[in-house]
Structure formats: C-alpha cells, structure tokens
Amino acid sequence: MASLGSKEKPVIVKVTSEKMAKKVAKICNDYGFQFIAGFESVEDLTDMKSAIKEKSAPKNIYDLYSCGSGLKYKFCCMKKEIALDL
C-alpha cells in the first residue's frame, strides 16, 4: 500500500497565498514528499500533517515516544494534531 506523500498518493494541500505555498513546498521537500498545492480561499494542510505524523511515528506504536511524556506513542502523540510553525 502506498504511503501518503508517495508518487502514488501525493500530499494534497490548499493554501491561500504564494508565500504559504513556498513554505509548504519547503516542508514537503525536506520530508521527501510528493505533493500537489492548490490555491483556495480556505487553507487545508491536513494531508501534509498526516504524512509528517506517519513518517515520524515509531514502527511500534507501543514504544515509548521521545516527546518527554513517558507514555507510549499510541497513548500520547498518536492522538495529537501536530503543530506547524508557518
């Protein structure tokens, strides 16, 4: 199965400005994601956030996670939405 951000399943984002499109492009390129960006009146970065989360998740969701909470990934960061500093 193709992962989000691959050639078969690119990340799809909606941005409101060219400045934001450049920021999104840099993030996607840094992570090696294939992406499609479109200009819309409302931003939607859900796919990109999901792809980043998927790529940074441990192979075993029951492993302790490095966020410092002392909890396993499944019970801590798996349920949290990631924040991007854009």
Q: Report pLDDT digits (tens) over 1-21.
A: 788 999 999 999 999 999 999
Residue 26 lies in a domain: yes
Which domain, by its residues, includes 25?
A: 11-79
pTM, rounded to two decimals: 0.78
Report residue 16 as tokens: 């409101």
pLDDT digits (tens, 9 = 90+) for 66-81: 788 888 888 888 877 7
Number of structural domains in the chain: 1
Residue 37 lies in a domain: yes
Cα angle, residue 57 at apex, residues 15 and 28 outer, rounded to 5°: 30
